[in-house]
Structures are given as structure tokens and as C-alpha cells.
Amino acid sequence: MIKTTGLLFLLAVLFASGAMAQGMQVPKPSAGLMPNPVVGQALFAKNCASCHGADLAGSDEGPPLLHRIYEPSHHSDMAFQMAVRNGSRAHHWNFGDMKPVAGLTPDDVAHITAYVRMQQRKAGIR
């Protein structure tokens, strides 16, 4: 157990330092924030649905978030924070790179992520 915990901690430190070494900031929601999927749904509709689809099933502009590729074990909540803040290079789909999304705070992204995760669970994606 101690070895596993130590290894996970080391991997987290290496990932974070690698992101910082590349000039990427790792956004963090406010301490104690309780992400609210209802708030996230409205923020998603306003800022994300045009590319990812109102039903999270994707569009001609962006990939579906109701897909196993975006399950928490493959794309963590931090990956959503990083994509919104810094953009994301196309790596699973042929939609081109995702540009950063201006005007969203880390708290906003946490609410959006809570909404996405809730919808993923409803779709059987865990």
C-alpha cells in the first residue's frame, strides 16, 4: 500500500512538473468548492455545446464527451481544466486542435465537469 501510494504521488508530481516545464498552468478550483452539475449544465450550454453537442454527443465541430475516451480514468477532471485554460491538441479525433475557452474560471470548469461526469454515469461511462 505504501509503495503504491508513493508511486502515485511521484507520478502526480512528475505530471505536474512536466506541465509546468512546458509553460502550462495547472488551474485549480477554489478550495472547498462543491461542483454543482445544475450550474455546470447552464455553463456547458453557453460555452461548450456548440462544439461538443447540446446532448454531449458531439457535432461537426467537436468530439462527443459521452464516449469512453473521456471516462475519468483516461481524461481526469484536471484534463478538462487544462483543455479549457490552454487548449488541447487533436489526439483522438480529427476535429483539429481545441482552442482555449476564454472567460471560464477553474470553478466554472469544475461545475461543467460535474455535469459531464453526471451525464457520463447516466450513459454507463464510469
Cβ partners under 8 Å of residue 50, min gap 6: 59, 61
What angle, 0 to 180 degrees and rounded to 10, lies between the N-to-C axes of helices 37-47 and 106-122? 100
Walk along the chain (126 residues) and give the pLDDT tens digit of each residue: 555 554 444 445 445 544 444 566 789 999 999 999 999 999 999 999 999 999 999 999 999 999 999 999 999 999 999 999 999 999 999 999 999 999 999 999 999 999 999 999 999 999
Please give the domain boundaries of the chain with CATH numbers for all domains: 34-122 (1.10.760.10)
Residue 26: what pLDDT? 85
Estimate the share of the chain in helix, then strand, then coil, as percent rounded to the nearest 5: 50, 0, 45
pTM comes to 0.80
